[in-house]
Amino acid sequence: MEQMTTAKTAMREIGRSAARDAAKEALRGAAVYAAVNIAPVSKSVAAATISGVFRIAEQVERMHDGEITAIECAEAVSDVCVSVLIGTVFAEAAKQWISHPVLGPILGNAAGVFLYQMISANMKRAVEALPQAQMAV
């Protein structure tokens, strides 16, 4: 009997989690749709920006819940901002150079992700080398 109630509780939690995620994605889709149709913004820029906003909100929520510190939150938020900026710039640039409607943004995004990973790795090494960062640890 106890196993059955545990299974029911687990299924309820799975259902709640699925409903919460579905609501988030519906909100994200509606925001992208509104950005594309109301403002003169391309789909790739709107999608990247809205996704960035959601990722920033998740980091702030984690900070408020005590899962991460304010410094870790600030690092994550700056990471998201750089990621969005590089991704959108490269996706838009590739659209201009590669006229294929699907291939251009995909290749541009891939180039942006590659550049972002290089910058992110080098920035982390540079921050760790700072004397203030070593003293804080």
Which residues lie below 8 Å from residue 47, measured CB to CB, with a gap of 6+? 32
The torsion defined by the Cα of 64, 54, 75 and 107, in degrees rounded to 10, comes to 160
Is residue 48 within 8 A of residue 84, CB to CB? The reply is: yes
Q: CB-based contacts of 69: which residues, under 8 Å, 6+ apart?
A: 63
89-101 residue pLDDT tens = 877 777 777 777 6
pLDDT for the residue 113: 76
pLDDT digits (tens, 9 = 90+) for 50-64: 888 998 999 999 999
How many C-beta atoms surround the C-beta of residue 73 within 10 A? 18
Instruction: State the amino acid at position 80 in one-letter form.
Output: V
Helix axis angle, 70-97 to 103-129, nearest 10°:
150
What are the φ/ψ torsions at residue 49 (nearest 5 degrees)? Answer: -65, -45
Residue at 48: amino acid letter: A
Average pLDDT along the chain: 81
Q: What percent of the chain has pLDDT over 90?
A: 10
Residues 6+ apart with CB under 8 A from 105: 44, 91, 94, 95
* Over residues 31-49, mean pLDDT: 84
Measured over the CA atoms of residue 69, residue 47, residue 41 and residue 113, the dihedral's sign is positive
- Position 136 scores a pLDDT of 53
Q: What is the mean pLDDT of residues 105-127?
A: 75
| pLDDT number for residue 10 | 84
